Amino acid sequence: MTLYDLRVSLCRKLGYADTPPIEVQDRLTGFLNEVHHRILGLPGMDALRQSQVTFATVANRPEYSLPPDVSRVLAIRDTVNQIVLRGEPWGWYTTQTPDPASSLGTPEIWVPIGQAGIAVQPANASAIFITSTAAADVSTCYLEGIRTGGYPFSSSVTMTGTTPVQVGALTDILAISKFYLSASASGTVTLTEDTGSGAELARVPIGQTHARYLRVALWPTPSDVITYTVDYLRQVEEMAEHTDEPLVPRDFHWVIEAGARMLEYEKTDDRRYPAAKDDYEKGVRHLKWYVTQQADGRSAMGAGTVQGSRLGAWYPRGS
């Protein structure tokens, strides 16, 4: 079910028109998103958010921004050299490597270094442009940072949809510390360097007002280009468009609707709140079982007649 389908079904159960007043639509959409976040944040629901992405290192660059939907890194793997990088805390990194440029080689360790609003800083003193994939994006873009000479700046511009526009009149921006929009993005909003088609610096996803990137450092600092596979938990984004779908299996979309119905009854002090709460909690229990019990727990080596050797690939089957 899409966000639109969920909201229409919810309206019918609550006794509202399929298209209620806009304030009711916004409230119910908010409840659906809140329940979606609640469910996917529960222990045992990680399997619904797991994903993979690859990124390539740059020689002599120690720090990297992962894609915006990366919420938590589970593992970073070098599949070419058959290495699983070990995770260490930020304190270890700062004491182990005061100067990252002094230790070059093939990385063995990754370190989370926090969130950032910019994926890549400008390569040099530059003008900054903003554009979107949706013509409806005409909100205000705000930038803060440092220009040549170390002077702080603050600039803004009204977006013009899919037509790139320069943010302010400055052409000597060295670093950006803050980037945000005055209203949720209708399309994917992109910040670029020098021109509207220049190097991408940051991206605001649909339905968001800020860019968010999880940054990691690699040790030793890569001395060459290496492609890494990142296993991660996806960030749960807001369902904003009519066609957006939840991350939970379709057979359990009704649980999100039940939770939103519960929140609406709670707001209106409706006597049906306890029944809706029971319905929602039962659905969550069933969903947990569905997610966590998909494997039967048996060893693949002992299944059927294809059992291998416990001693290794070079020994007879069954030994």
Reply yes or no: is the peptide bond before residue 89 cis, omega within 30 of 0: no
Please give the torsion angle defined by the CA atoms of residues 300, 302, 305 and 310, in that order, rounded to the nearest 10 degrees.
Answer: 100
State whether 154 and 106 are in the same domain.
no
Structural domain count of the chain:
3
Q: Give the Å distances, CA to CA, from 99 to 33, 95, 105.
A: 44, 10, 14
pLDDT at residue 226, rounded to an integer: 93
pLDDT tens, position by position, 218-232 = 999 999 999 999 999
Check: CB of residue 261 under 8 Å from CB of residue 274: no
Read off the DSSP letter of residue 32: H
Determine whether 257 is exposed, middle or buried from the number of CB atoms within 10 Å of its CB (0-12, 13-18, 19+).
Answer: buried
pLDDT of residue 98: 84
Range 273-279 average pLDDT: 96
pTM of the shown model: 0.76
Q: What is the mean pLDDT of residues 73-90?
A: 92
Residue 195 in domain = yes
Is residue 273 situated within a structural domain? no
For residue 311, pLDDT over 70 is answered with no
Query: Does 227 share its domain with 104?
Result: yes
Say if residue 299's pLDDT is above 80. Answer: no
Domain that holds residue 33: 14-48
Question: Which residue type is seen at 41?
Answer: G
- Asked whether residue 228 is domain-assigned, the answer is yes
- What per-residue confidence (pLDDT) applies to 313? 57
pLDDT on residue 317:
64
Same domain? For 43 and 53 the reply is no
Distance between CA atoms of residues 301 and 313, nearest Å = 12
Q: Answer yes or no: do 31 and 176 share one domain.
A: no
Check the CA dihedral 130-131-134-137 and report its sign.
Answer: positive
Report if residue 308 sits inside a domain. Answer: no
Asked whether residue 101 falls in the same domain as residue 71, the answer is yes
Asked if residue 198 and residue 68 are part of one domain, the reply reads no
Ranges of H-type helices in 159-272:
253-268
Residue 72 lies in a domain: yes
- CA distances 227 to 60, 70, 85, 114, 115, Å, are 14, 17, 13, 22, 22
- Residues 134, 161 contacting (CB under 8 angstroms): yes
Per residue in 10-65, pLDDT (tens digit) is: 999 999 999 999 999 999 999 999 999 999 999 989 999 999 999 999 999 999 99
Q: Please give the pLDDT value at position 144.
A: 95
Q: Are 134 and 195 in a shared domain? A: yes
- Residue 305 is predicted with a pLDDT of 46
Confidence check: pLDDT of 66 > 70? yes
